[in-house]
A = this chain, B = another copy of it.
Amino acid sequence: MSNLEQRCVEAGLKMTGQRRVILRVLGIAEDHPSVEDVYDRAKALDSSISIATVYRTLSLLDEMELVVRHEFQEGYSRYEVNSEHHHHLVDLETGQVIEFQNEELEKLKEKIAHDLGYELIDHRLELYGKKLKSEK
């Protein structure tokens, strides 16, 4: 049983065929798939899956924080398995999403929130850019 499945069972979810497939799709994804993407990939493994189930499952996983939902100003959501904390840089020319971490940034966010009199619960940082012409 995969780690994701394990955690679902522990949370009291029934491990249905559909959920197993969706978890598998998410587990092997190397990108940040949209609901439609997850649906298509899941359907390739089990053609009986409906998009309603994909939506319901992703919402559940999001609540359980097994997954992170992103909205990169595209009008729809994209998901990824919740692993290490990181941020995203979206390539405006290709749509490619690059992940990064930055310790200095983490500290700065905490400081800013605290200075404003707030406890930081969540945050979101996205960079949008174009690849620099590297003269090779």
- A: residues with CB less than 8 A from B are 71, 73, 89, 91-92, 98, 100, 102, 104-105, 108-109, 112-114, 116-132, 134
A interface: dominant SS = strand
Min Cβ gap A12→B in Å is 27
Q: Select A121's contact among B71, B123, B130, beta carbons within 8 Å.
A: B130
Of B120, B122, B125, B130, the residue contacting A118 (CB under 8 A) is B130
**B residues within 8 A CB of A130?**
118-119, 121
Residue of B nearest to A134 (CB): B117
Q: Which residues of chain B are near A131, meaning CB under 8 Å? A: 117-119
How many whole Å from A103's CB to the nearest CB in chain B?
Answer: 11
Pick the contact of A125: B102, B124, B132 (CB < 8 A): B124
CB <8 Å contact, A132 and B117: yes
User: Assuming A71-B71, A119-B132, is B89 touching A113 (CB within 8 A)?
Assistant: yes
Chain B residues within 8 Å of A134, by CB: 117
6 contacts between A and B (CB under 8 A): A89-B112, A104-B108, A118-B131, A119-B132, A120-B127, A123-B125
